[in-house]
Amino acid sequence: MQLRGWVFYTNALYKQSTKMTAKIIVTRKWPSVVEAELSRRYDVELNVDDVAFTDTQMRDALCSADAVLTTVTDDVGKHVFESFGGNTIRAKVIGNYGVGFSHIDIDSAIKNNIMVTNTPDVLSECTADIALTLMLMVARRAGEGERQLRSNGWEGWCPTHMIGTKVSGSTLGIVGFGRIGRETAKRARAFGMKIRVFNRSPVDPSVLSEFSAVQEGSLEQLMSSVDFLSLHCPGGSENTHLINSDNLAKMKSTAFIINTARGEIIDEEALFNALDRNQIAGAGLDVYQNEPRINSKYFVFDNVVLLPHLGSATASTREAMGFKVIQNLDQYFAGESPDNRVA
Ligand code: DGY
């Protein structure tokens, strides 16, 4: 239903009778319904094999298409823009499939007159659902329990078997109170959780009161006072290792950390140390530094739940993300400013 509504909406607004001549390159495989719509509208080169682009392929794409549609797994860093070997960049738009864009060097894009767009909003609910999933799984030892059962290790119910931590009524600290942070707070409120927030800019008091939330003055203050800490800020250089050994040491030894945002926000070595020393009770993670080659030290800890970057991975959301990219492209090629322009 959600998808049909979205398609109707985009078609009504941007229906084209003739195909646009703009050349578009898509760097990964997308949901087929979105690829079909994109191909109906533009001259499109799809990535049917779904193998991530090398730097050379990325440069070639930027030199041969009007728009390159990237995603989270692409590396469009500074180094990509540094060596075009005399070729001229043709791309005017990078339409990113995903809300996070820390894999794109925005300064280089701006220097090369390339507009960058992303896909906010449509994935907020599903990402918040995964944050709650991780919270419940790690606190109630769901991953551990399933592993025990599947390995025939369960000896039956007893009063002391696999005792976890109660989630309902506990205190949740949210780092970054944007769209996904708020969706997470909404769900947590249904579990009777108390909400505390750390956000770089002041959050409107009416928004805080909607969640009966308190905004803390510092990250350390937040980290020392909560039972769960859930990260919802952007990645990139400004937040790399925002969570580090100094502030992890401030957390309660009974508290859990949840990350559905970006891997680089947590200093992984500091997290391993904190887990080793039982400075915190556990972690629920959907994102990692150097995905998908995650550090094998994670596998040592039974009190860590590991998901493979599933935040937005539902059929309706992945399709809505694709249609959002199309909407941004249509707006750009119609001479308008795309709704989701980030640079
Ligand atoms: C994003 O959109 O940035 C997510 O990490 C992918 O769902």
Give me the domains of the chain, ranges plus CATH numbers. 2-122+314-333 (3.40.50.720), 124-306 (3.40.50.720)
pLDDT for 20: 81
- In the sheet that holds 23-26, the strands lie side by side as 43-45, 23-26, 67-69, 93-95, 115-117
Cα gap 168→189, rounded to integer Å? 9
pLDDT for 16: 61
Global pTM exceeds 0.85: yes
Ligand 1 center to 100 CA (angstroms) = 6
How many C-beta atoms surround the C-beta of residue 223 within 10 A?
Answer: 25
How many C-beta atoms surround the C-beta of residue 53 within 10 A?
Answer: 21
Catalytic-labelled residue, pool 141, 182, 232, 262: 262
pLDDT for 225: 98
96 pocket-lining for ligand 1 (C-beta < 6 Å): no
Ligand 1 center to 51 CA (angstroms) = 18
Tens-digit pLDDT profile for residues 76-123: 999 999 988 889 999 999 999 999 999 999 999 999 999 999 999 999
Flag residues of the chain having pLDDT under 50. 1-9, 11-13
pLDDT for 5: 39
Look at residues 121, 255, 228, 133 and name the one whose alpha carbon lies nearest to residue 187.
Answer: 133
Does residue 262 have an active-site annotation?
Answer: yes
123 pocket-lining for ligand 1 (C-beta < 6 Å): yes
pLDDT for 112: 97
Query: Which residue, by CA, sits nearest to atom 4 of ligand 1?
Result: 98
Tens-digit pLDDT profile for residues 126-161: 999 999 999 999 999 999 999 999 999 999 999 999
Query: Which residue, by CA, sits nearest to atom 1 of ligand 1?
Result: 98
Q: Tell me, what DSSP letter sits at residue 123?
A: T
